[in-house]
C-alpha cells in the first residue's frame, strides 16, 4: 500500500496540482461562480502539498520545523492576502490603468488563462532576474533566499515589498490589455499552486518536462547558497526565459541538503518574521560583504547577489 501511495505521489502529484486544481479554477471562473471558490481551492492545494511531502519527501528533515513554521505561515498569509486583494481590486485597477481593451475575450476561456500565465511568467521572471543583479531589489528578495529547508510554504516566503513588485510586473501589463477579473482569479490560483510545486519537498517526477516547467527539480539549483551558482533557473511557470537568457542549469547528480541552501554571505540572516521585514532597511541588508547604507551607486548597480567567493559547492554543477 505504501509503495502504491508513493508511486501515486511521484507521478500523480504534479498533474493533480497543475491540471486538477488549475483545471477546477478554470471551470469555476469560466462558469461565473463566486470568487469564494478561490479560498477552497487554495486550501485543497495546501492539503495536497503537505500530504505529498509527507508520503514521499525528498529530504525528510525538511518536513521538521526549525523554528520557522510560524514565520512561514505569516509570510504565506500576508502574501496570499495581497494576491487575493489584487484580484478583488482588478475592476478598480482597470479603471485607473490606461487600458487598450484589446484582451482576446473571444478566445476560449482556458486559452485566455494560458495567455495570462505566459505573459505573467515573462514579467515576473525578468523582475526575479533583476532582483539578483540590482542591490536595492536584492535587499527585499534576500528574505526568500534565507530559507534553509525547501518545502511548499517557502514559495510565499517573500518580503511583501518584493511580492508587490513581482505582482506589479506580472499583472499591470495584463491590466493595460484589459484582463478580465475572472482570468485574473485563475491566474492568482495558478501562481499559488506553482509556488507550492516549485518549492515542494515531495520527490515527484515530470520526466523531460523538468527542462521546460519551473518545478522543484530545477528550482532547487536556484536556492544554492553560493554567488553565481544559485543565479540560475529564475522562471516562475516555465524555464523558457532561462533557456533564452542562458541562465538555465541542471545536473541530475546534484543532491541537496540544508547546508547547501541559504546565502553564503549571510549565514545569520534573521529568522523571525518581523526582523525579516525590517532587514532590507538596515545596513546589514545590503548585498555587499561590507554594506554601505544609505544606498551608494554601487549598491544600486549590477552586482552578484551573494557577494562571497567560495570554492566549495561547485562540484557537480553544470553551467548554463
Residue 152: pLDDT band by 50, 70, 90 thresholds?
very high
Mean local confidence (pLDDT), 65-78: 92
Q: Which pLDDT belongs to residue 312?
A: 38
Using alpha carbons, select from 191, 192, 199, 194 the residue that is nearest to residue 261: 199
Which residue would you say has higher pLDDT here, 156 or 214?
A: 214
The answer on pLDDT for 68 being more than 70 is: yes
Each residue's pLDDT tens digit, 184-193: 999 999 999 9
The answer on pLDDT for 290 being more than 50 is: no
The answer on pLDDT for 210 being more than 70 is: yes
What is the rounded CA–CA span in Å between residue 137 and residue 12? 37
Each residue's pLDDT tens digit, 228-237: 899 999 999 9
Q: Which pLDDT belongs to residue 228?
A: 86
Helix locations, 62-180, DSSP H: 69-88, 90-96, 109-131, 135-141, 160-177
Q: Which pLDDT belongs to residue 87?
A: 81
Q: Which pLDDT belongs to residue 98?
A: 66
The answer on pLDDT for 305 being more than 50 is: no
Q: What angle do CA 73, 74, 79 make, to 5 degrees?
A: 100
Amino acid at each position: 500500500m505504501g509503495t502504491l501511495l508513493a508511486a501515486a505521489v511521484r507521478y500523480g502529484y504534479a498533474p493533480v496540482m497543475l491540471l486538477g486544481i488549475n483545471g477546477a479554477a478554470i471551470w469555476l471562473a469560466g462558469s461565473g461562480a463566486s470568487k469564494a471558490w478561490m479560498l477552497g481551492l487554495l486550501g485543497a492545494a495546501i492539503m495536497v502539498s503537505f500530504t505529498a511531502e509527507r508520503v514521499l519527501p525528498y529530504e525528510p528533515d525538511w518536513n521538521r520545523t526549525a523554528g520557522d513554521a510560524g514565520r512561514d505561515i505569516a509570510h504565506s498569509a500576508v502574501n496570499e492576502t495581497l494576491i487575493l486583494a489584487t484580484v478583488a481590486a482588478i475592476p478598480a485597477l482597470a479603471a485607473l490603468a490606461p487600458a487598450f481593451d484589446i484582451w482576446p475575450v473571444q478566445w476560449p476561456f482556458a486559452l485566455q488563462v494560458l495567455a495570462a500565465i505566459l505573459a505573467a511568467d515573462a514579467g515576473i521572471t525578468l523582475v526575479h532576474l533583476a532582483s539578483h543583479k540590482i542591490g536595492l531589489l536584492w535587499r527585499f528578495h534576500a528574505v526568500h533566499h534565507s530559507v534553509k529547508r525547501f518545502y511548499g510554504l517557502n514559495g510565499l516566503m517573500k518580503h511583501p515589498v518584493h511580492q508587490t513588485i513581482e505582482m506589479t510586473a506580472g499583472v499591470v501589463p495584463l491590466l493595460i490589455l484589459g484582463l478580465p477579473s475572472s482570468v485574473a482569479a485563475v491566474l492568482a490560483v495558478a501562481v499559488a499552486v506553482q509556488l507550492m510545486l516549485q518549492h515542494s519537498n515531495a520527490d515527484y517526477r515530470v520526466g523531460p518536462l523538468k527542462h521546460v516547467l519551473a518545478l522543484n527539480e530545477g528550482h532547487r539549483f536556484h536556492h544554492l547558497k553560493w554567488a553565481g551558482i544559485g543565479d540560475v533557473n529564475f522562471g516562475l511557470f516555465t524555464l523558457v526565459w532561462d533557456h533564452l537568457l542562458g541562465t538555465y542549469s541542471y545536473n541530475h547528480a546534484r543532491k541537496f541538503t540544508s547546508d547547501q541552501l541559504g546565502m553564503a554571505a549571510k549565514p545569520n540572516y534573521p529568522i523571525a518574521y518581523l526582523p525579516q521585514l525590517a532587514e532590507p532597511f538596515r545596513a546589514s541588508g545590503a548585498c555587499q560583504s561590507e554594506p554601505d547604507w544609505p544606498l551608494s551607486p554601487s549598491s544600486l548597480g549590477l552586482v552578484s547577489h551573494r557577494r562571497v567567493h567560495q570554492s566549495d559547492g561547485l562540484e557537480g554543477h553544470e553551467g548554463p
